[in-house]
Structure 1
Amino acid sequence: MTGPGAAPADTGAVAPAASVAPVSGTDVVDVWLVPTDQPEPVVRALYELLDPAERARADGPDRRFGRRFTVAHGAVRLLAGARLGRDPARLLWRYGPHGKPWLDGLAVNHSASGALAAVALTEGRAVGVDVEQVRDARVAVRMARRWFPAAEAESVAADPDPAGRFTVLWCRREACVKAYGGRLVQGFGLPLDGPSPVLLADPGALGPGPCRVEDVPAPDGFRASVATVGAGPAEVRRRTWSPTDPVANRLAMTGT
């Protein structure tokens, strides 16, 4: 499911169609996993990077949500700013018709669940990422039967770890839908079972294919997937973000 901090759906700015056009060649997709329970000095420093709308979300009544939101969105800004060589506090997000954020010159997507966020960055093709905390097995089987194709729902019910399998398939759907900037309902019927990566030649109503969906190793209790649009191969590099990592934070935070 969509991570906290999703952009409003109606913003008046629509990403250009070229952002989801199939491309050729090999692209590098960096997927950063971000632990969002961080010490207070890190939270304060990341808060300074947020724009007014992001700060308003962080300042809501749920303090734990606000801290995790701050870390997730601050880390997105640091990582995107480092990739672009720009001040992370000055990045200006644009939004697609269903709230997908994007930046000029960089495809970026992010997701959050519990105490973990995921950030995907690449150039040249659209990207979507999703991370989810594993659900209760009974809930997983019930939701699979409601939302997934019949064969996939049965595979979830028959799996020794139905909750884990359900969460993998949910992450794949979210990542695929987010790569296109579509609506989750458009991904429910997609055939996404099988070994990773899954190549969808025809993603249906979402847009032109192919779409490549790959599982990303995640900590115990979580699952994650990343999707890229385009005919050429994409190399996925999985990394873990730290507030003291000089590679991740080339534009360093102050006060940490």
Structure 2
Amino acid sequence: MTGPPDSADPVDPIELVDLVDLWVIPTDQPDAVVEALGALLDPGERARAAGPDEATGRRFTVVHGVVRLLVAERLGVHPAELAWRRGPHGKPEPAGEGHTLGVSYSASGALAVLALADGRPVGADVEEVRDPRVAARIANRYFPGAEAASLAESSSPEVLAERFTELWCRREACVKAFGGRLVQGFGLPLAGPAPLVLTGAGALGDGPCRIADAPVPGPFRAAVAAVGDRPFRLRLQCWEAPSFIMSRT
């Protein structure tokens, strides 16, 4: 006699979960590291890095240089040869055929994150915790009414700022996963414990979309979103300058 359908042999749940690599990148690096990473940038990136604010330019160089290193390693190409194509609203993806690597990166002050996912679009965002007064104004203007009201009931300004930043990161990550515009994500219902599943993403596109919070150090919050129904787990890694760069210091 055969048993009911739910009595089938168990399946390892790990096999049913996608893996998303999330690299945490400290953006304040020694001169030698900044110089080595700067040599990997394309002319447009170098022009942006050479702006009037030196500190901002250094951090830009680190973020884009490390992204080139890690994405190129994943694709098996030289970092300096990596080319990007841009979506309608500027989302970067590696140019070329024959790969299905989803890429998304974000930077805020001294920290950046890079998400890599095989076979599905991904979005990542990191933000330094906002000033409570700024957070309250933005939430009241742009967030769904229930979310704004819940934030207003926070036990302290510090808690309000942390919860707001968490919701903002989720919103940005979802928008980036779909390659849309931020205004399209303001109405998404993103409160509640993570991970979350959106069955539809409104103006951004057809769902579903899965969203997870990511633990990052310091006064920052981060989130990752991936388009599709399959659950995913995050593999967090902290980037450190390779020995070939550090040997130059």
TM-score by length of 1: 0.85
CA distance in 2, matches of 1:231, 1:121: 17
Q: Greater helix percent: which structure? A: 2
CA contact (8 A) 1:45 1:255 kept: no
User: Counterparts of 1:4-43 in structure 2 under 5 Å?
Assistant: 26-43=17-34
User: Whose radius of gyration is greater, 1 or 2?
Assistant: 2
1:154 paired residue number? 149
Which residue does the alignment assign to 1:83?
A: 74
Q: Please tell me the residue identity of whatever aligns with 1:176.
A: C
Q: C-alpha distance in 1, partners of 2:211/2:229?
A: 12
- Unpaired runs of 5+ residues, structure 2, are 1-14
Quick one: higher RCO (CA 8 Å, sep 6+), 1 or 2?
A: 1
Matching residue's letter, 1:107: G
> How far off its partner does 1:107 sit?
1.1
**The residue matched to 2:235 in structure 1 has which SS?**
strand
* CA deviation profile, 1:9-45 (whole Å, cap 9, x unmatched): xxxxxxxxxxxxxxx9632110111000000000000
- Mapped to 2, the partners of 1:63 and 1:183 lie a distance apart of 29
**1:157 Cα deviation after fit:** 1.7
Which of 116, 121, 124 is the aligned partner of 2:119? 124
> Shift in Å at residue 147 of structure 1?
0.7
| Structure 1 position 255, deviation (Å) | 4.1
Q: 1:140 aligned to 135, 149, 166, which one? A: 135
* Kept after mapping to 2: 8 A contact 1:37/1:68: yes
Q: What does residue 60 of structure 1 align with?
A: 51
TM-score, length-scaled by structure 2: 0.88
Q: Which among 181, 184, 197 is matched to residue 183 of structure 1?
A: 181
What is the percent sequence identity of the aligned residues? Answer: 61
Distance, in Å, in 1 between the alignment partners of 2:109 and 2:150 is 26
1:172 corresponds to which residue? 170
- Mind listing any 5+ residue stretches in structure 1 that lack a counterpart? 1-23, 246-251
Let me know the Cα RMSD of the aligned residues. 1.5
Aligned residues: 227
Q: Distance in 2 between matches of 1:97 and 1:187?
A: 16
Match of 2:217 in 1: 219
Q: Give the structure 1 partner of residue 8 of structure 2.
A: none
